[in-house]
Amino acid sequence: MISSIISVLCFKGYRKLSNEKKLEWNNRGFSTFHAFIASTASLYLLLLSDLFSEDYYDELIINRTSSLSKTVLGISIGYFLSDLAMILWLYPALGGLEYVLHHGLSMFSIFLALVSGKAQIYILMVLFTEITTPFVNLRWYLDVAGLKSSNIYICNGVALFLGWLVARILLFIYFFVHMAIHFDQVKEIFPLGFYSLLVVPPMLAIMNVFWFWKIAKECMDNDCFDSQISNWAVEWIRLGLH
């Protein structure tokens, strides 16, 4: 497996990990790779391309699709399916019921959008939230490597907090506002897709808020922000003295 080969080269302690830890280590490497692909492609399709531009096409936004968007959705279905299989196989070592629910809802929504070609803009918005996954995985890697008290762990915690706030809280608010503004188009989606769009995103949003609360609580317990602000202040003073 590519992840294990890279891990052996980059982390000397990898060989000393238990088989269970190695399996989770490799699994997180796979999820990080998917996160980069999904979030980058989603960002391009949503902001940099003209696919979902309000005035660029005459076609309704909820009907717009492209070869790239279909490819991204297909890759994501494959990832979530394989990751869910791994979670169930080792349950609950890689995640509890909330992960099973998250992956199940994600696959269901992506599948509907891919097969029907409807509402792909909203699926891509949700896929962009995967941009926080590398920070989650790095947090776990650093913990396993015994670097939980290091500055990089603290910096990653701050980045995770801010990234989660933007990508999984504020973005979902924008998601619901966008859907409300374009609700006349949303109503044109076939019944199963329409009701799924009304039910699944709020459920994912609730899970995101719950996880955000846990992230914020850990940051406060570990004084992430105080420690990092202190470090930045010291650096500024040191630079000023020079």
Domain boundaries, the chain: 2-241
Euclidean distance between CA atoms 124 and 180, whole angstroms: 17
The model's pLDDT over 156-197, given as tens digits with 9 standing for 90+, comes to 988 999 999 999 999 999 999 999 999 999 999 999 999 999
Per-residue CA distances from 74 to 50, 67, 81, 191, 201 (Å):
21, 10, 11, 22, 19
Angle of helix 191-221 relative to helix 97-116, nearest 10 degrees, comes to 140
Using CA atoms in the order 31, 33, 39, 41, what is the torsion angle rounded to 10 degrees? -140
The model's pLDDT over 41-68, given as tens digits with 9 standing for 90+, comes to 999 999 999 999 987 778 899 999 999 9
Question: What predicted TM-score, i.e. pTM, was given to this entire model?
Answer: 0.89
The model's pLDDT over 111-168, given as tens digits with 9 standing for 90+, comes to 999 999 999 999 999 999 999 999 999 999 999 999 988 889 888 988 999 999 999 9
- Assess contact for 73 and 120: CB atoms under 8 A: yes
Q: What backbone torsions phi and psi does residue 166 show, to the nearest 5 degrees? A: -75, -50
